């Protein structure tokens, strides 16, 4: 059994601030990290590796700093990693990313199972999984809250609106994993540091048979501007000792008419 | 110049809501074509609906394909974009046209603190729009509905629903008038009792930020507010010990009155609050309880 986990190296969204006037995200100096949802995808693969002797490859399309994310996945138990560099610094749109990942799957596969996080932490488009499955001509199961692998079949429990469903798909299949799916193991900093860089294979799109210039220029979508989300808030700060501040607050809330 | 539009929704009712929303762009003159899954196929798969929808799109050659962002639509739209050799934008809140006639789609990014405008270079533009954004079907648009029969034998073969069950319905935060939400500022699980007491005094529901539900498990997922939890719009939202990370703010920014209690004056929650108390929640919460009781007596 061979498993591919697709990952994303992201700006830590808890640290991202936007310019209050222009709405442009200030990304310089913001720490970068593994997208949290992807930890759950790696955990699911690492568990399959232990239970079914699955062989696990992790892959990402991103800057060289993404080595950090791949090393974390390797420390969690993946066997090998593929880093596709050479994409524009601002990243690729989801549909184009799925084309690069499909080329990775073709070049290093075939894989019985492809795992992704339900979405990325930064963009939360939730497009790459289904788009990649479409390119590979395989079924997908999204937002899996648990998954089991047996006899060439993956079975997952997911929420679809107001009901839960259990869905089975014959491998090869793609599953996007929800944060409820498992508790990702936490490798120590030492374990991550000890991961040998030689286990990470760096390739460029051209190595995968893709035209690099066309890849960036022919992206179907691109961000052309930002603006701040309008927030009309009063911003009244109630200073002073707790009892006085609390009394003032209650008076304000009574005036607003929001108390029961 | 109006945008020729094709709609996809789970139901004809939902398609009508999409049509009303897009009417200023699509123009009122011609009826809008909408595709919905053929009746009689319970829980059709996106894999099987994608080929017939792509065929329809090729025949119609619309500028814009608007997809209702339901669990099915969210799976279908990226597949459709790949099949049509175009792009897809999730969670659109506005659609317009650029100077060169290109479709421009606005969507919230980084958890909703900013709105990005995304330009399409390819046609058709596939855009997902949440039912909460379109609002209800006002019946103002003329819609021609066509039923899509899922195509067997594609990637959906070998996929099946083994079992279905209703989700046990507990608290529904999206319907709450008042909410007291608690975050990482709370040091111990047993201190939640103080929050429950405050919520009871306000006739409010108790909610929480992501760490308390997902990482600590102190409250259930049904009480989590934010991008990965529930989106709420109460009259009063009281955030206690919540820093106001973007994921959280996305889920509560449409509340009518927002109050924040936090010991860090620089916490982003104060930027989205109408009233703020800077201080230790272990002092502020009992003080607020006392003030509420005083005001009642």
- Residue B168 confidence class, pLDDT cut points 50, 70, 90: low
Taking CB atoms and an 8 Å cutoff, what residues of chain B touch A227?
A: 114-115, 117
Output the pLDDT for position A86: 86
Q: Looking at CA atoms only, how far is residue B241 from chain A in angstroms?
A: 15
Query: Measuring CA to CA, how many Å separate B147 from each of B33, B34, B66?
Result: 11, 9, 16
pLDDT tens digit sequence for B21-34: 998 887 766 789 99
**Contact call for A131 and B81, based on CB within 8 A:** yes
Burial of B67 (0-12, 13-18, 19+ CB in 10 A): buried
CA distance B198 to B184: 17
Residues of B in contact with A168 (CB under 8 A): 159-160, 162
| Across B245-249, average pLDDT | 81
Q: Are B111 and B245 in contact (CB under 8 A)?
A: yes
- Give me the count of residues in chain B: 297
Among the residue ranges A102-106, B159-163, B204-208, the one predicted with the least confidence is B159-163
Contact A225 B45 (CB under 8 A): no
Q: Contact B275/A260, CB-based, under 8 Å?
A: no
| Facing residue for B161 by CB, picked from A161, A165, A173 | A165
Size of interface A-B (CB pairs under 8 A): 273
Angle between helices B192-202 and B281-296 (to 10 degrees): 30
Q: Which candidate in B9, B79, B132 is best for mutational testing of the A interface (most A CBs within 10 A)?
A: B79
ipTM greater than 0.95: no
CB–CB contact B78 A243 (8 Å): no
pLDDT given at position A82: 98
Residue B174: CB partners within 8 Å, gap ≥ 6? B230, B231, B232, B233
Query: What is the structure's pLDDT at A209?
Result: 93
Check if A193 contacts B (Cβ < 8 Å): no
Are the Cβ atoms of A223 and B116 closer than 8 angstroms?
yes
């Amino acid at each position: 059994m061979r498993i591919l986990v697709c990952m994303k190296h992201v700006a830590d969204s808890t640290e991202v601030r936007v310019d209050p006037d222009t709405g442009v995200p200030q990304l310089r100096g913001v720490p970068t990290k593994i997208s949290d949802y992807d930890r759950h995808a790696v955990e699911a693969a690492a568990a399959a590796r232990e239970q079914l002797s699955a062989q696990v490859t992790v892959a990402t399309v991103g800057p060289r700093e993404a080595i950090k994310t791949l090393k974390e996945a390797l420390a969690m138990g993946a066997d090998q990693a593929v880093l596709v560099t050479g994409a524009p610094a601002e990243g690729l749109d989801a549909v184009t990313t799925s084309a690069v990942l499909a080329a990775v799957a073709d070049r290093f596969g075939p894989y019985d199972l492809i795992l992704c996080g339900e979405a990325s932490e930064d963009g939360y488009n939730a497009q790459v999984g289904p788009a990649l499955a479409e390119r590979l001509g395989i079924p997908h199961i999204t937002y899996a809250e648990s998954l089991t692998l047996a006899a060439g079949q993956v079975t997952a429990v997911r929420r679809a609106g107001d009901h839960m469903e259990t869905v089975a798909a014959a491998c090869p299949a793609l599953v996007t994993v929800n944060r409820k799916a498992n508790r990702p193991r936490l490798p120590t900093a030492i374990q991550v540091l000890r991961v040998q860089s030689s286990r990470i294979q760096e390739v460029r799109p051209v190595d995968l048979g893709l035209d690099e210039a066309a890849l960036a220029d022919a992206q179907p979508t691109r961000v052309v501007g930002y603006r701040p989300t309008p927030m009309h808030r009063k911003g009244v700060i109630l200073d002073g000792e707790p009892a006085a501040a609390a009394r003032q607050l209650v008076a304000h809330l009574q005036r607003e008419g929001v108390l029961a | 110049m109006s945008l020729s539009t094709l709609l996809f929704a789970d139901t004809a009712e939902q398609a009508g809501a999409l049509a009303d929303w897009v009417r200023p762009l699509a123009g009122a003159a011609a009826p809008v074509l909408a595709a919905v899954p053929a009746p009689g196929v319970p829980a059709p798969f996106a894999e099987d609906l994608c080929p017939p929808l792509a065929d329809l799109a090729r025949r119609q050659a619309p500028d814009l394909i608007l997809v209702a962002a339901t669990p099915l639509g969210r799976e279908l739209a990226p597949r459709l974009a790949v099949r049509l050799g175009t792009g897809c934008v999730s969670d659109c809140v506005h659609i317009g046209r650029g100077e060169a006639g290109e479709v421009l789609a606005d969507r919230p990014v980084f958890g909703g603190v900013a709105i990005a405008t995304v330009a399409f270079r390819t046609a058709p533009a596939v855009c997902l729009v949440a039912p909460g954004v379109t609002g209800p079907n006002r019946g103002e648009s003329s819609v021609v509905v066509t039923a899509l029969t899922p195509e067997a034998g594609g990637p959906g073969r070998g996929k099946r629903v083994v079992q279905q069950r209703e989700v046990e319905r507990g608290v529904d935060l999206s319907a709450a008038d008042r909410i007291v939400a608690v975050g990482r500022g709370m040091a111990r699980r047993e201190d939640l009792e103080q929050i429950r007491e405050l919520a009871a005094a306000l006739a409010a529901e108790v909610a929480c930020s992501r760490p308390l539900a997902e990482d600590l498990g102190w409250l259930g997922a049904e009480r989590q507010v934010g991008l990965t939890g529930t989106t709420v719009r109460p009259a009063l939202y009281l955030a206690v010990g919540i820093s106001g990370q973007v994921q959280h703010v996305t889920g509560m920014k449409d509340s009518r009155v927002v109050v924040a209690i936090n010991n860090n004056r620089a916490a982003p929650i104060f930027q989205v609050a109408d009233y703020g108390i800077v201080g230790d929640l272990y002092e502020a919460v009992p003080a607020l309880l006392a003030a509420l009781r005083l005001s009642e007596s």
